[in-house]
Amino acid sequence: MVPKSYRKQNCCEVCKYVFKYCDYGGELDFFCHIDKSDRPPCGSVAMKEYSDNFYKDGRYEKWDKWASSHRVSGNGVCLYFKKM
Protein backbone atom coordinates (compact mmCIF):
# COMPACT_ATOMS: atom_id res chain seq x y z
CA MET A 1 0.00 0.00 0.00
CA VAL A 2 1.25 3.48 -0.88
CA PRO A 3 1.27 5.95 2.05
CA LYS A 4 -1.08 8.94 1.77
CA SER A 5 1.91 11.26 2.08
CA TYR A 6 3.51 9.85 -1.09
CA ARG A 7 4.25 12.32 -3.87
CA LYS A 8 6.52 12.37 -6.86
CA GLN A 9 9.46 14.64 -6.32
CA ASN A 10 10.44 17.14 -8.98
CA CYS A 11 13.57 15.67 -10.46
CA CYS A 12 15.73 15.58 -13.56
CA GLU A 13 13.81 12.62 -14.94
CA VAL A 14 10.76 14.81 -15.61
CA CYS A 15 12.52 18.13 -16.24
CA LYS A 16 11.99 19.75 -19.63
CA TYR A 17 15.72 20.42 -19.94
CA VAL A 18 16.83 16.79 -19.65
CA PHE A 19 18.00 14.63 -22.53
CA LYS A 20 17.23 10.97 -21.88
CA TYR A 21 19.61 8.52 -23.46
CA CYS A 22 18.16 5.07 -23.99
CA ASP A 23 19.22 1.96 -25.79
CA TYR A 24 17.94 -1.56 -26.01
CA GLY A 25 19.25 -2.38 -22.51
CA GLY A 26 16.27 -0.55 -20.98
CA GLU A 27 18.26 1.65 -18.59
CA LEU A 28 18.09 5.41 -19.03
CA ASP A 29 20.92 7.90 -18.61
CA PHE A 30 20.07 11.54 -17.99
CA PHE A 31 21.86 14.64 -19.26
CA CYS A 32 21.03 18.24 -18.38
CA HIS A 33 20.66 20.22 -21.59
CA ILE A 34 19.63 23.56 -20.09
CA ASP A 35 22.52 25.25 -21.90
CA LYS A 36 20.98 24.23 -25.26
CA SER A 37 24.47 23.47 -26.58
CA ASP A 38 24.82 21.51 -29.79
CA ARG A 39 24.40 17.92 -28.65
CA PRO A 40 26.37 15.49 -30.79
CA PRO A 41 24.74 12.20 -31.78
CA CYS A 42 24.80 9.84 -28.81
CA GLY A 43 25.34 6.61 -30.71
CA SER A 44 22.15 4.95 -29.50
CA VAL A 45 20.83 2.35 -31.91
CA ALA A 46 17.35 2.54 -30.36
CA MET A 47 17.27 6.32 -30.85
CA LYS A 48 18.54 5.97 -34.43
CA GLU A 49 21.68 8.02 -33.69
CA TYR A 50 24.18 5.26 -34.48
CA SER A 51 26.16 4.81 -37.67
CA ASP A 52 28.73 2.24 -38.73
CA ASN A 53 31.43 4.92 -38.45
CA PHE A 54 30.40 6.15 -34.98
CA TYR A 55 33.66 5.01 -33.37
CA LYS A 56 35.90 5.57 -36.38
CA ASP A 57 35.18 9.17 -37.35
CA GLY A 58 35.41 10.82 -33.91
CA ARG A 59 31.70 10.95 -33.14
CA TYR A 60 32.14 8.86 -30.00
CA GLU A 61 34.77 11.26 -28.63
CA LYS A 62 32.47 14.22 -29.27
CA TRP A 63 29.56 12.47 -27.56
CA ASP A 64 31.73 11.36 -24.64
CA LYS A 65 33.06 14.88 -24.07
CA TRP A 66 29.56 16.41 -24.17
CA ALA A 67 28.07 13.67 -22.00
CA SER A 68 30.74 13.90 -19.31
CA SER A 69 29.92 17.55 -18.62
CA HIS A 70 26.11 17.17 -18.81
CA ARG A 71 25.41 13.89 -16.93
CA VAL A 72 22.94 14.17 -14.04
CA SER A 73 21.02 11.78 -11.81
CA GLY A 74 17.42 10.98 -12.65
CA ASN A 75 16.62 11.85 -9.04
CA GLY A 76 18.46 15.15 -9.06
CA VAL A 77 16.86 18.56 -8.87
CA CYS A 78 18.09 22.15 -9.22
CA LEU A 79 16.69 25.68 -9.08
CA TYR A 80 16.10 25.68 -12.86
CA PHE A 81 13.77 22.66 -12.76
CA LYS A 82 10.83 23.02 -15.09
CA LYS A 83 8.37 20.16 -15.50
CA MET A 84 7.80 18.82 -19.00
Q: pLDDT at position 9, please?
A: 76
Note down pLDDT in tens along the chain; length 84 residues: 767 887 777 788 889 999 999 987 778 899 999 999 999 999 998 889 998 998 988 999 999 999 999 999 988 889 888 888
Q: pLDDT at position 12, please?
A: 87
**Which CA distances in Å does 10 have to 3, 4, 15, 34, 70?**
18, 18, 8, 16, 19
Q: pLDDT at position 2, please?
A: 66
Dist CA 67 CA 32 (whole Å): 9
CA atoms within 13 A on the CB side of 83: 3
pTM of the predicted model as reported, rounded to 2 decimal places = 0.83
